[in-house]
Structure 1
């Protein structure tokens, strides 16, 4: 391994991550805007029904795509190295399988909608699912095409047609519905139309840029190999959704859709914490798969450590805001009706930050081809999640649901990190990363003691500014900067032309000298 190999890999990941991050932020912004408008314009019960329908649809979508969204980027990267002549067959086979599977599951969901609505004692869910089921073919094919583009190391399709187009189209349609004073049912039709328009636009764009040429060609051998590799990932995805959405579904079962609506103010906020980690995952797979194919495990380990440290540092301000000022964050975005979800937001933020703290452990297991380790880890976590929700929700309500989810996240990430270390020796705990972690814990503790009460949004902003300023100074004084950090910052400066970054780099280099 050479430092240049690690730096080159990190720089490529950083360039792709920056673009995906911007797209994801835009997606999150419009996604929150959509949710906030629905939450404010309609009742908490109707908002809860929409979230229940979306949850069911998301679980079915994982089954429809068969785990291809995770397996295709890895498989295409391998095929490029070893079987380049068969990439077209791989893509066509995957597209045909997903198309057929989506039609089957669309039919199943329409026929089973009434039974699902009875399970949750929510009459409105019946019609919602029957309408939203028609998004399955379009959403599944959009996901598959974007996964193919990931395998070629592209992020453009994800940003335009996953991050931006669907939420923007949905927002426009929702605003039209509100202006026209359409009933709540219109929201579900708007969602279907937004997904349909997105797929049509993506299809036109793929043809225009000649990303790949679709042929009605299916290879039974490729289909068998792809499905065998992907099925554990599909099951892992289903278990992941169970772990992510059991709290929402069980709150609807044990209490009411109104409580689901209140809880749904905390869950999307907490998931924002993984935004940077998710952005790095898009370009991480093809680049690290290449290192793995070339048997450069040491380079993989170093890339993993530096990348995990950066995602932790970038995510820290957002996590701090949710942990220290949950009432202010929720009331500013959703209104005072949703403030009862403040403690749930704090609890959930710990679980999602722990995932960020340990890095892309699950995706790295996919890279090395060990999909079963992911599956076993998710089975344990999902079982614990269901049991804990059954025990905690009747006693503690939405706070119990949040605690069950957080404990499950701790379990699944510990297991995945253990398997990854056992198989490859890869872990995130470099010396400088641990110093950064200790500094952050101490500073957060001090702020909580000095500023025990929440304030307005301006108070939150200045407190976080003080926190990050102190954090940066302590990082410099403790010499917690790696040479790869400097090289990454130089790449970001060149790519995005950030004016102050050059001066910041010179300041860091004055404080820190690299002797290794």
Structure 2
């Protein structure tokens, strides 16, 4: 019981720091969209999509590998750490050298030939993030969640404060004639990246004792073991991240930066859903793994799925019902993309369901299926984006994302029921999802009528809660059932 409580408390700390970080950056969206043009915000969207993909590639799956092997071989955990951290650090130095040497052609390929300094900022962010990956992993292995959260939140704080300085305080001071250190007087997208670099530098400084104490060496046998385990995970992760971010890479060359800026801003509205999903993931996944061997575990997973369908359906339709006001979260210059919101919300809902039903291959130690599913999703997303973007613009990206998630969900459910059957109430849940989807599109497309939409949403939410009251009650702790 104590270990379970410890697991839940640590999960809460790790999860809270992660969710708080995403939510804090999310809250900067109104500031960025108000101060930047569509094309500048498009640059922001494009650069962070590239960073997201490169982070997966250049960690080589070694974070998970380190957890696995250092966790099993605790006596030699420091050797595993030094090998993993040294390898990623040397790799980061090599990547940095290559980009610096070939900066001009790389800038040209990415369409930043006139602003190569943006690629240098990209490199600085990437290198900074790579250098703290394994130190953060060691904190988790050592069960030091407070130190983990403290360093992570310190980085988040300096990032947010820097953004507030560059995009809010400095312009006001400059206009009033006061000195503004590090601010040129012109608002630029580069300041977002500079804030991130400052955040990365702070985290590196906080990990300085770790770097000083590290035995900088690579055990050839250990790194071979780590890479053999990690590279397949990297390939699966790469397919997964391509499925989520490749649209932001393709919109720029196929359409333009203005369209990418609009798409990137509207996607932020759907982040409300992703925050709900992430909260679920941190709260439920550890519980599911810790109860995997119980007799009625699969029946319980089915009830959790019922709850998740209700929870996400209420969240999705609530966001759509409130879109008349939520839309002002992004500047009015970006509102031309609001017609994409229902597609993105439904897509996020399905992604949340995928996270639950895809636990079958983790629980049954058949993780290769995760790579297959991610690959299928990536191929679908890339193919549909290439086909639809030139014809219907950024709506094609939203449709591609939705269709890809539907395909992954369907295949994962089919394979899962063959290899790890769970008694899901599919008919009932598909009915709820269908009704929720219809309401989501209706709420989003009929502008105004806020009170009417709110009444319909409340009726829908209360009806779902009433229908599923027994399921919801079964998931409560015994102390709350009385």
TM over 0.5: yes
* Deviation readout 1:221-258 (Å, 9 max, x if unpaired): 32222211110111122222221122111111111111
* Deviation readout 1:407-433 (Å, 9 max, x if unpaired): 12223344444454544x154x534x8
Q: 1:86 aligns with which of 76, 79, 82?
A: 76
Q: Which residue of 1 aligns with 2:399?
A: 403
Whether 2:130 is the aligned partner of 1:137: answer no
Q: Which residue of 1 aligns with 2:195?
A: 190
* Deviation readout 1:2-42 (Å, 9 max, x if unpaired): xx99xx96x77655554455434422332122233222112
Write the mapping of 1:116-135 to structure 2, written as runs, cut at 5 A: 116-123=106-113, 126-135=116-125
Write the mapping of 1:15-26 to structure 2, written as runs, cut at 5 A: 15-16=9-10, 18-26=12-20
Partner SS, residue 477 of structure 2: helix
Note if contact 2:309-2:429 (Cα within 8 Å) is conserved in structure 1.
Answer: no
Note if contact 1:351-1:406 (Cα within 8 Å) is conserved in structure 2.
Answer: yes
Q: Measured at CA, do residues 377 and 91 of structure 1 come closer, stay the same or move farther in structure 2, by a change above 3 Å?
A: same
Q: Which residue of 2 aligns with 1:320?
A: 317
Q: Which residue of 2 aligns with 1:267?
A: 267
- Counterparts of 1:434 and 1:482, CA distance in 2: 21
Note if contact 1:138-1:199 (Cα within 8 Å) is conserved in structure 2.
Answer: yes
Q: 1:453 aligns with which of 446, 450, 456?
A: 446
Q: Which residue of 2 aligns with 1:480?
A: 471
Q: How far is the alpha carbon of 1:394 from its aligned partner?
A: 0.8
Write the mapping of 1:91-110 to structure 2, written as runs, cut at 5 A: 91-110=81-100
RMSD: 3.7
Deviates most, 342-351 or 317-326: 317-326
Note if contact 1:48-1:259 (Cα within 8 Å) is conserved in structure 2.
Answer: yes
Q: How far is the alpha carbon of 1:466 from its aligned partner?
A: 4.4
* Deviation readout 1:315-364 (Å, 9 max, x if unpaired): 333322344454542x2200222222222221122222112123345566
Q: Which residue of 1 aligns with 2:373?
A: 377
- Counterparts of 1:246 and 1:310, CA distance in 2: 31
- Counterparts of 1:70 and 1:405, CA distance in 2: 27
Q: How far is the alpha carbon of 1:374 from its aligned partner?
A: 2.1
Q: Which residue of 2 aligns with 1:510?
A: none
Structure 2, unpaired ranges of 5+: 172-182
Partner SS, residue 241 of structure 1: helix
* Deviation readout 1:293-330 (Å, 9 max, x if unpaired): xxx3867645644554454444333322344454542x
* Deviation readout 1:67-89 (Å, 9 max, x if unpaired): 23444444455x1xxx4323333
Whether 2:461 is the aligned partner of 1:468: answer yes
* Deviation readout 1:346-402 (Å, 9 max, x if unpaired): 112222211212334556645655443222222222122111111100111111111
Partner SS, residue 471 of structure 2: coil
Partner SS, residue 446 of structure 2: coil
- Counterparts of 1:438 and 1:173, CA distance in 2: 47
Whether 2:154 is the aligned partner of 1:165: answer yes
Note if contact 2:30-2:330 (Cα within 8 Å) is conserved in structure 1.
Answer: yes
Q: How far is the alpha carbon of 1:440 from its aligned partner?
A: 5.8
Q: Which residue of 2 aligns with 1:35?
A: 29
Q: Measured at CA, do residues 267 and 284 of structure 1 come closer, stay the same or move farther in structure 2, by a change above 3 Å?
A: same
Note if contact 1:146-1:157 (Cα within 8 Å) is conserved in structure 2.
Answer: no
Note if contact 2:112-2:119 (Cα within 8 Å) is conserved in structure 1.
Answer: no
- Counterparts of 1:18 and 1:475, CA distance in 2: 26
- Counterparts of 2:145 and 2:281, CA distance in 1: 11
Note if contact 2:42-2:261 (Cα within 8 Å) is conserved in structure 1.
Answer: yes
Deviates most, 399-408 or 366-375: 366-375
Note if contact 1:106-1:136 (Cα within 8 Å) is conserved in structure 2.
Answer: no
Deviates most, 241-250 or 317-326: 317-326
Structure 1, unpaired ranges of 5+: 208-212, 491-501, 507-516
Aligned length: 465
Deviates most, 467-476 or 94-103: 467-476
Q: Measured at CA, do residues 481 and 191 of structure 1 come closer, stay the same or move farther in structure 2, by a change above 3 Å?
A: closer
Q: How far is the alpha carbon of 1:218 from its aligned partner?
A: 3.7
- Counterparts of 2:232 and 2:447, CA distance in 1: 45
- Counterparts of 1:416 and 1:216, CA distance in 2: 42
Q: Which residue of 2 aligns with 1:48?
A: 42
Whether 2:390 is the aligned partner of 1:394: answer yes
Note if contact 2:341-2:444 (Cα within 8 Å) is conserved in structure 1.
Answer: no
- Counterparts of 1:186 and 1:39, CA distance in 2: 13
Write the mapping of 1:337-352 to structure 2, written as runs, cut at 5 A: 337-352=333-348
- Counterparts of 1:268 and 1:375, CA distance in 2: 27
Q: How far is the alpha carbon of 1:464 from its aligned partner?
A: 4.4
Note if contact 1:114-1:126 (Cα within 8 Å) is conserved in structure 2.
Answer: yes
Q: Which residue of 1 aligns with 2:238?
A: 238
Whether 2:421 is the aligned partner of 1:430: answer no
Note if contact 2:125-2:197 (Cα within 8 Å) is conserved in structure 1.
Answer: yes
Q: How far is the alpha carbon of 1:454 from its aligned partner?
A: 3.6
- Counterparts of 2:14 and 2:457, CA distance in 1: 25
Deviates most, 142-151 or 129-138: 142-151
Whether 2:227 is the aligned partner of 1:227: answer yes
Partner SS, residue 274 of structure 1: helix
